[in-house]
Amino acid sequence: MTRMKKQFAVIGLGRFGTSVALTLQQLGHDVLAIDADEERVQKLSDEVTHVVQADTTDENALNALGLRNFDAVVVAIGEDVQANVATTLLLKEMGIPFIIAKARNALHGKMLEKIGADRVVYPERDMGQRVAHSLVSSNVLDFIALSSELSLVEVTAPGIFVGRTLAEADMRVRYGVNVVAIKRYEDLIVPPQPDEVIHESDVLIVIGPTEGLQRLEVLG
């Protein structure tokens, strides 16, 4: 599969923004990393190809960056909510096709959605949930909340299901959840068929109501 090289910009080079920028670059895309703080810019200049110092709440400075044709812009400004919101608004007005903005809390997230951010992320909240779920149950390898009711979990196959087929395990009826994929060593079985037998070291990727998944998570 050949992937098109895309152009991304990341604004705000705290821990989150830096991680986004470095990962995008490692994935082979063009990244423009932007921060108002000259020191932060300097620090990253060895690692990211294009780093620019700019205050993105200044409309002229933002326009001068030429972001209009970028595929997506990530607003990773943290503490300064006003700068985060103002930057998102200005980017939206510029017609950036895809804007991802980091929110500090639910109200901030709502503002970003109203302004027109295409995606709002809550890294601290999401990571907190993932860590908590993996602590509560040693079966849980990962947890992602998809909405207030729906989630996706990655669990090691509960012992009571090992040796049974998916149809026999019948998690849909028992817990109201669906196994969307099975990780078996290097293989990913998607979608698994009802007659697929669950092996001991299988990892199940399951989607469904959080409440149903929680009942699944605590099975041994």
Position 40 contacts ligand ATP (CB under 6 A):
yes
Q: Could you tell me the smallest distance in angstroms from the CB atom of residue 14 to ligand ATP? A: 2
Dump the DSSP string for 11-24. Answer: E--SHHHHHHHHHH
Position 139 contacts ligand ATP (CB under 6 A):
no
Binding test (CB under 6 A) with ligand ATP, winner from 10, 48, 74, 77: 77
Is-contact 98 71, C-beta < 8 A?
A: yes
Position 143 contacts ligand ATP (CB under 6 A):
no
Stretch that binds ligand ATP, among 12-20, 144-152, 167-175, 207-215 (CB under 6 A): 12-20
Which residue's CB is nearer to ligand ATP, number 17 or number 208?
17
CB neighbours (10 Å) of residue 21? Answer: 29
Q: Could you tell me the smallest distance in angstroms from the CB atom of residue 105 to ligand ATP? A: 12
Position 11 contacts ligand ATP (CB under 6 A):
yes
Which residue's CB is nearer to ligand ATP, number 55 or number 71?
55
Is-contact 172 188, C-beta < 8 A?
A: no
Q: What residue is closest to ligand ATP based on CB?
A: 78
| Assigned token pair, 15 | 């821990």
Which residue's CB is nearer to ligand ATP, number 11 or number 117?
11
Which residue's CB is nearer to ligand ATP, number 103 or number 198?
103
- Three-state DSSP class for residue 1: coil
Ranges of beta strands (E only) in the chain are 7-11, 30-35, 50-53, 72-75, 99-102, 119-121, 140-145, 150-156, 178-184, 187-189, 203-209
Is-contact 35 41, C-beta < 8 A?
A: yes
Residue 5 identity: K
Binding test (CB under 6 A) with ligand ATP, winner from 6, 7, 14, 130: 14
Is-contact 76 13, C-beta < 8 A?
A: yes
Binding test (CB under 6 A) with ligand ATP, winner from 15, 110, 164, 174: 15
